[in-house]
Structure 1
Amino acid sequence: MKIGILGAGHIGKALARLLAEAGHDIGISNSRGPDTLRELAEQLGHGVKAYTNEDAARFGELVIETVPFGHYADLPAVQMEGKIVIDTANYYPERDGQIDLGGLSESAFMARHLSGARVVKAFNAIQASHLETLGDTSKPLGERRAIPIASDDAEAKAVVSTLIEEIGFAAVDNGNLERSKNQQPGTPIYGAEVNAQQAQDILAKQ
């Protein structure tokens, strides 16, 4: 699958490496342009290419956005229409400024902004260092580190669950995008090193 990754921070770099190693075609971008990513792309190997944000979104059959939430308005929404978009962002008012979410979860707000995109919340409740080191495809699913996901689109959620399994983790269904509030910073599941059953038990109590 062709996957565009918008943002080359810790999570973006980790996902680029893991998904490229799993056999996917990866295009990565940042806000400063592809010339600043040539060295990173070479380090990642596996044919990873550096793009502008617009071109990375255009390239991907699936798009992962890993930019700070405060920059959501800079995302290339037109190029993401109709595509599965994994939203990894967390809203930190002290970093992102005050943003009126209108009572929505961060991801439901993002889905409203990215009109036409099939938004799935994932990878926001795991540290980049854990993403880089705790995946293990040799383990049965029930024994793997859990990653909660949420979406209003069941088919998109299934696609993302498969990607999560391909890089050695277990996806745990956290319901719709409004339920994604239960995997944000400060919640019991955030950063928790638990397996799928333990994650389900934690999420069921919220």
Structure 2
Amino acid sequence: MDIGIVGAGNIGTTLAGLFTDAGHGVILSDPRGPQSLESTVEDLGPRAHAGDVEEAVRLGSVVVLALPFRNRESLPSGDLFAGKVVVDATTPDGDSAEMLDLPRTSSEYIAEQVPGARVVKTFDTMHWESLREAAGRDGEDRLALFLAGDDPRAKATVAGLVEDVGFAPVDTGTLVEGGRRQRPGTDLYDDPLTEAEARDRLSSVEPSP
């Protein structure tokens, strides 16, 4: 599968490495332009190449938004995202209260901005270093990644990617209620858990207001 990644910070480059290691192709992009990514994609190997944001969206069967939430306005407008599976992996830029205090979840804002896309929220509740270091664990030691979304097929596609990079997908529910459970500052955020621990924790977590 070819995966477009928008954002080449810690999360974006970590995911690019995990996806290429799992055999997927990656189009890595950044608002600064593809020329800023030459050394990064060289390190990632032949399955990765740099592109502009529009190319990453157009060519990716799945598009991962791995940029700070406040930079979402840099995303292309129009119908470029229509029909795409779009992963909201946007993160706080600084204090996590920035996103917790919003009246809606990040994914609700993202979904408005990418009309026609099938949005799934994941890859954003675990610190990038944990993503890099814990990928590929087996059995009971495998860590969980939470995901939320409204489209069952899109969630199944993204859950498959989560498994490909060595994590256990744990469904938190719809984009709104599940997204609220995953927000910064909640009990599911930035606390590496095994699949069993994650499901136990999830059973006691109500959506934040």
Give your verdict on TM over 0.5. Answer: yes
**Partner residue in 1 for 2:141:** 143
Kept in 2: contact 1:126–1:191 (CA 8 A) = yes
Deviation at 1:63, TM superposition (A): 0.3
Deviation at 1:200, TM superposition (A): 1.6
Map 1:96-175; keep pairs closer than 5 Å: 103-137=103-137, 139-140=138-139, 142-175=140-173
Q: Which runs of 5+ in 1 are unaligned?
A: none
* SS across alignment from 1:4: strand
CA distance in 2, matches of 1:130, 1:19: 15
CA distance in 1, matches of 2:11, 2:22: 16
**Partner residue in 1 for 2:42:** 42
Closer, same or farther in 2 for the Cα pair 1:60/1:96, shift >3 Å? farther
Deviation at 1:193, TM superposition (A): 1.7
Identity %: 37
* SS across alignment from 2:67: coil
Deviation at 1:75, TM superposition (A): 1.0
**Partner residue in 2 for 1:53:** 53
CA distance in 2, matches of 1:136, 1:55: 29
* SS across alignment from 2:38: helix
Closer, same or farther in 2 for the Cα pair 1:204/1:92, shift >3 Å? farther
CA distance in 1, matches of 2:6, 2:68: 10
Q: CA RMSD in A?
A: 2.1
**Partner residue in 1 for 2:200:** 201
**Partner residue in 2 for 1:85:** 86
Deviation at 1:93, TM superposition (A): 8.2
CA distance in 2, matches of 1:92, 1:12: 14
CA distance in 2, matches of 1:96, 1:45: 37
Alignment size in residue pairs: 202
CA distance in 1, matches of 2:192, 2:171: 16
Kept in 1: contact 2:24–2:47 (CA 8 A) = no
Closer, same or farther in 2 for the Cα pair 1:185/1:94, shift >3 Å? closer
2:76 maps to a residue whose letter is P
* TM-score using structure 1 length: 0.91
Deviation at 1:96, TM superposition (A): 11
CA distance in 2, matches of 1:86, 1:75: 13
1:192 maps to a residue whose letter is D
* SS across alignment from 1:57: helix
Deviation at 1:91, TM superposition (A): 4.4
CA distance in 1, matches of 2:91, 2:40: 24
Closer, same or farther in 2 for the Cα pair 1:132/1:81, shift >3 Å? same
